[in-house]
A and B are shown apart, each in its own frame.
Chain A
Amino acid sequence: MGVKVHGLALSTCTSRVLTILHEKGLDFELLPVNLLAGEHKQPHFLAKNPFGQIPVLEDGDLTLFESRAITAYVAEKFKENGVDLIRHNHLNEAALVKVWTEVESQSFHPAISPIVFQHIIVPMRGQTPDQAVIDANLEKLAKVLDVYEARLSSTKYLAGDFYSLADLHHLPYTYYFMKTPWASLVNERPHVKAWWEDISSRPAFKKVAEAMTLGQN
């Protein structure tokens, strides 16, 4: 069909997009972007994403950036393919998917991404992680996960008893977070732990996770 993703398989945000493409069983081409060479800041790339970030998706004459806008587009366009990630025939369930998608964006992501960045990316640049930043965000993440623990004791997944885009969006950063010394934040919360084990063992994600090798020598 000609869907192209410009990005890198080990990148969190690219992985978010690759996961949904696999969930939907879609053919696509992954075109690597050479971040080390600064390709993402070159004019030909900025023409696709003026913020100079991966991933970018091209579907015919449509060019999209922002991974969560890309996943929303794929989920909607291919809503009849594979698992229904947006509950398009159930308006109330669809609304709850949006609620927990926003929770990931607004509460989960801002806490977990600095931890992953400091622990995994910063050393790759030859610098020392800022423990104060890590500690402050571990505290925030713990509070968010307390709410998740309570939520997931009444529903199997975040938006209800069905896997949805809201759960999928958590996969890439949590995958890397579970390789840090602070995985106990997940493992000590039984419902969060069970949810994590369930969503991270989905075949579509396992395929993507094979290439998520950041921080490995």
Chain B
Amino acid sequence: MAAIKVHGSVISTAAMRVFATLYEKDIEFELVPIDLGAGEHKKEPFISLNPFGQVPAFEDGDLKLFESRAITQYIAHEYADKGTPLVIRDSKKMAIISLWSEVEGQKFDPAASKLTFELALKPMFKMTTNAAVVEENEAKLAVVLDVYETRLAQSKYLAGESFTLADLHHLPTIHYLMGTQSKKLFESRPHVRAWVADITARPAWNKVLAQQK
């Protein structure tokens, strides 16, 4: 029985963020599937792991966590010496990783996750896409990606010359959006396009996608 368990769904963007981190660090874990369709995440025993009733939840021994970006940070620091380094000990370099992680959480994700829901997830569940929401959020995401384009012309990855948690956090929503009309936002910006191609080609990321097959 693995000490590390992830309670979630292999198609959930937030859970995929955690899986990506575990695969990058080459850490064994047990997936405890949560049936979102059956509302399992809103009931016990899941709700005791996350009172907000959202996947994923995470266990490492007797430590129980939720919020994917808190989980990824815990893994990246606790297992700093294992697998791919995703954080840096130097406090100034770590500050730049935090900064671009905040940009993902505060600016990229609000628009990207609404687009993912409208364009990738709603069709999966035979729901109707809201065109006004798509238009509004593509406009917002375009503004953010203009900043990314300038940034990625200065450094190979968001926080510098190495792949870090700041880049990783983007993977699940980018993956979904590249299968929708919104891919044009990423493809029309050369440095963003190259960054997307690079980070989505990582072997650890492809292990996350293999879980969906």
Interface of A toward B, CB cutoff 8 Å: 50-51, 62, 64-66, 68-69, 72-73, 76-77, 91-92, 94-96, 98-99, 101-103, 105-107, 110, 144, 147, 150-151
With most chain A CB atoms within 10 A of its CB, the pick from B51, B69, B91, B95 is B95
The residues of A that contact B151 with a CB separation of less than 8 Å are 50
Q: Contact at A147–B51, with CB atoms within 8 Å?
A: yes
Q: Is the CB of A64 within 8 A of B95?
A: yes
**Given the complex of chains A and B, what is the CA–CA distance between A151 and B47 in angstroms?**
13
Contacts of B2 in A (CB 8 A): none
Distance between Cα atoms of A77 and B94 in the complex (Å): 10
B180 CB → nearest A CB, Å: 23
Chain A residues in 8 Å Cβ range of B147: 50-51
**Docked complex Cα distance between A65 and B74 (Å):** 23
Report Cα–Cα, A107/B69, bound state, in Å.
Answer: 13
Contact of A106 among B67, B77, B94, B103 (CB under 8 A): B67
Q: CA–CA, A144 to B53, complex, Å?
A: 11
Contact call A102/B99, Cβ cutoff below 8 A = no
Let me know if B78 and A77 touch, CB within 8 A. Answer: no
With both beta carbons as reference points, the residue of chain B lying nearest to A76 in the complex is identified as B91
In the complex formed, the residue of B with least CB distance to A150 is: B51
- Contact pattern, B 58-72, Cβ under 8 Å of A = 1, otherwise 0: 000001011111100
**Is chain B's interface secondary structure helix, strand, loop, or mixed overall?**
helix
Closest to B67 in A: A102
Main secondary structure, interface of A, reads helix
Contacts of B52 in A (CB 8 A): 103, 107, 144, 147
Question: How far, in Å, is A46 (CB) from chain B's closest CB?
Answer: 9
Question: A73, B91: Cβ atoms under 8 Å?
Answer: yes
- The answer for the CA separation of A96 and B69 in the assembled complex, in Å, is 12
Among A50, A77, A96, A106: residue with most chain B CB under 10 A: A106
Complex interface residues of chain B between 55 and 93 (CB less than 8 A to chain A): 63, 65-70, 73-74, 77-78, 91-92
Q: For A107, what are the chain B residues with a Cβ–Cβ distance below 8 Å?
A: 52
Minimal Cβ-Cβ distance residue in B for A93: B63
A98 to B199, CA, bound (A): 25
Q: Per-position contact with A for B96-108: 1 when CB-CB < 8 Å, else 0?
A: 1011011101110
